[in-house]
Structure 1
Amino acid sequence: MRVLVTGSSGWLGRYLVPALVAAGNDVIGLDVAAGPHTKVIGSVADRALIDRLFAETRIDAVIHAGALHKPDIVRYPRQAFIDVNVSGTLNLLEAAVAHGASRFVFTSTTSLMISHAIRAGEGDAAVWIDETMTPLEPRNIYGVTKLGGERLCRLIHDETGLPVVILRTSRFFPEEDDTLRTLSGENMKANELLHRRLTVEDAVAGHLAALEKTPEIGFDTLILSAPTPFSRGEAAALKTDAAAVIAAHYPQAAALYAARGWSLPASIDRIYDAGRAERVLGFRCATDFAAVLGALEYGEPLPFAHDADYTSPLVIPDLIRDPG
């Protein structure tokens, strides 16, 4: 199968393209930045480029992973997010329909499900987040435009029948959190595997599963995140005393963390439930919080990537503006 992968020079793309090739696919990588897995340099916002690319190749499937992301908010104006995340998505969808592609996988984000209230930790219980949660109230231009891209996916599917699966991935970036610095990056990532993170390897595996099953699914929106050990009935306790709830599931966690100089979360404000992806795709993330504890116990490398110096290779000089 010939697969167009956008964002092929990004963090996901650098793992996704080799996995697709290893599975026997012919992959065309598209990105604004050069990279070892990128064959075409250009933007999804360039409609002429997208039309030419589809016309000159026999693309059967699209994995649209390219986007401006949350850290880019300080580097680019809102219009750039609209151009790339909304118009770029429409360009790809319409070209996929016009040239008879059999499937479209859209990499979205759980971030668009987080309102200002959730981000501020309001309420007396952790928010249980699955695909049924409404209303969706994105708190920034990144979330707004990714939701716009999702809505276009639904519209084009309804109008044309193009099979589309939307994957709302939780966190898998390797760099430090750009807003929180209360814990070390490794400690924070380990904690997040309880409720709001997956590894990049699992993100890749989830995309491959979606690519295979999209034609039979038709349309769906699925959360990809490491399986949480928690239940809905623990939501209130997680908000007030997360450490006690964690201890009930993992009695060894506190001692292993203490030996590393780490801290368990005192409060957890949200839980991403990836159960639907498991039911629909037959896919479950391989790495969870138990894997972290196993690595700590046996002195093995941590089962997730951490690179405090990582920055996105994205560079669009003509879109750089003063964000103020």
Structure 2
Amino acid sequence: MRVLLTGSTGWLGRTLATRLREAGHSVIGLDIAPGPDTQIVGSVADRNVVQQAFASGIDAVIHAAALHKPDIVRYPEQAFTDVNVTGTLNLLQAAKAAGHDRFVFTSTTSLMISQSVRDEAGDAAVWLDEQTGPLAPRNIYGVTKLAAEGLCRIYAHEHGLPCVVLRTGRFFPEDDDTHTAPLGENLKANELLNRRLTVEDAADAHVAALNRAPELGFDLFVLSAATPFHRSEVRELKADAAAVIVRYFPDAADLYAAKGWSLPSSIGRVYDASHAERRLGFRCATGFAQVLDALRESRPLPFTHDPGYTSPALAK
């Protein structure tokens, strides 16, 4: 297929472009920043740019372009509406007009985090899956991504365009701008227990969604590394996460100590990706177990950490 990939210069886009070509697809990249995988430089918010992309003969769309949470301090709220909502609508309208049978939309687990969930004030970890609600996103990023999900649902149910929505957990390579300890690789390793996946797994999930969209019609999936935890453990995870972790991984504390790392003492939320495993047939290849394997065998860690990474669109 000839796949229009929006956000093709970004962290996910560049990995996804490679995965799509490996699967035998042709990739037409669209991004506001130039890059080796981007043939069309422009914004999805511009209907003329979208029409230009479709004029080249497109069979399917993977819509990964967006303004993200770090962009809140750099762009006005209207820009989020223009890119994340109007841009999605422009692509859906064009795909419907072209008679497509698949549309994949990159969403975010961030829209599931209300202020109360973020505060983690309760005595139990919050278990988050596709049934979690009512949703109350805490910023313009989450609000606009939730609105875009709604547009995908409408176009699937009312216009017959199969749409798959992927709510991805964290996969960014840079440091977290909201945490002070632990930092860097230690934090990313910890998050693979409950809220993170690798960019490679995120890309592979999009390819799986592209393949399965016609038979799924519409579906929405939380994407994160498979958690080892069970819903029955939410109070233990909040009170003493390290004890629960060692129950599953007896040598984790020693491996961490040798690295100078710390296990989380408390976990306040867990993303459950089991629906994707059951219905999409996708399970992340990399999780916390693979991190421990790398530590045992003194191999490179199975995820990317790049504290100097800057989004290409913001680097100009």
Cα distance in 2, alignment partners of residues 5 and 276 from structure 1: 25
What fraction of aligned residue pairs are identical, expressed as a percent? 66
Match of 1:131 in 2: 130
For residue 203 of structure 1, give the secondary structure of its aligned residue in structure 2: helix
For residue 160 of structure 1, give the secondary structure of its aligned residue in structure 2: coil
Match of 2:44 in 1: 44
Superposition deviation, residue 7 in structure 1: 0.2
Match of 2:284 in 1: 285
Match of 1:235 in 2: 234
Paired residues for 1:139-178 under 5 Å: 139-178=138-177
Match of 2:189 in 1: 190
Match of 1:111 in 2: 110
Superposition deviation, residue 122 in structure 1: 1.8
The count of aligned residue pairs is: 316
Give me the CA root mean square deviation: 1.0
Match of 1:223 in 2: 222
Match of 1:92 in 2: 91
Match of 2:258 in 1: 259
Cα distance in 2, alignment partners of residues 273 and 22 from structure 1: 29
Cα distance in 2, alignment partners of residues 315 and 110 from structure 1: 23
Cα distance in 1, alignment partners of residues 27 and 185 from structure 2: 33
Cα distance in 1, alignment partners of residues 315 and 189 from structure 2: 33
Cα distance in 2, alignment partners of residues 87 and 48 from structure 1: 13
For residue 287 of structure 1, give the secondary structure of its aligned residue in structure 2: coil
Residues 32, 316 of structure 1: 8 Å contact kept:
no
Superposition deviation, residue 18 in structure 1: 1.2
In structure 1, what residue type is equivalent to 2:228?
Answer: P
Match of 2:309 in 1: 310
Match of 1:12 in 2: 12
Matched, 1:21 2:21: yes
Superposition deviation, residue 48 in structure 1: 1.5
Residues 128, 272 of structure 2: 8 Å contact kept:
yes
Match of 1:64 in 2: 63
Superposition deviation, residue 105 in structure 1: 0.2
Residues 105, 165 of structure 2: 8 Å contact kept:
yes
Superposition deviation, residue 53 in structure 1: 2.2
For residue 29 of structure 1, give the secondary structure of its aligned residue in structure 2: strand
Moved over 3 A (4+): none
In structure 1, what residue type is equivalent to 2:41?
Answer: I
Residues 5, 30 of structure 1: 8 Å contact kept:
yes
Match of 1:322 in 2: none
Match of 1:77 in 2: 76
Cα distance in 2, alignment partners of residues 108 and 246 from structure 1: 29
Residues 224, 273 of structure 2: 8 Å contact kept:
yes
Cα distance in 2, alignment partners of residues 28 and 113 from structure 1: 31
In structure 1, what residue type is equivalent to 2:26?
Answer: D
TM-score computed with the length of structure 1 as normaliser: 0.96
Superposition deviation, residue 306 in structure 1: 0.3
Q: Deviations over 1:242-280 (max 9, x none)?
A: 001011111100000001110000100000000000011
What 5-or-longer segments of structure 2 have no aligned partner? Answer: none
For residue 135 of structure 2, give the secondary structure of its aligned residue in structure 1: coil
Match of 2:53 in 1: 53
Q: 1:33 to 1:259 in 2, by over 3 A?
A: same
Residues 130, 274 of structure 1: 8 Å contact kept:
yes
Residues 50, 95 of structure 1: 8 Å contact kept:
yes
Match of 1:295 in 2: 294
Match of 1:205 in 2: 204
For residue 313 of structure 2, give the secondary structure of its aligned residue in structure 1: coil
Superposition deviation, residue 101 in structure 1: 1.6
Cα distance in 2, alignment partners of residues 277 and 12 from structure 1: 19
Q: 1:226 to 1:215 in 2, by over 3 A?
A: same
In structure 2, what residue type is equivalent to 1:120?
Answer: D
Cα distance in 1, alignment partners of residues 53 and 133 from structure 2: 37
Cα distance in 2, alignment partners of residues 159 and 91 from structure 1: 16
Superposition deviation, residue 315 in structure 1: 4.3
TM-score computed with the length of structure 2 as normaliser: 0.98
Q: Deviations over 1:38-89 (max 9, x none)?
A: 01000000011212321x2221110000000111111111111110000000
Match of 1:320 in 2: none
Residues 33, 313 of structure 2: 8 Å contact kept:
yes
Superposition deviation, residue 316 in structure 1: 10
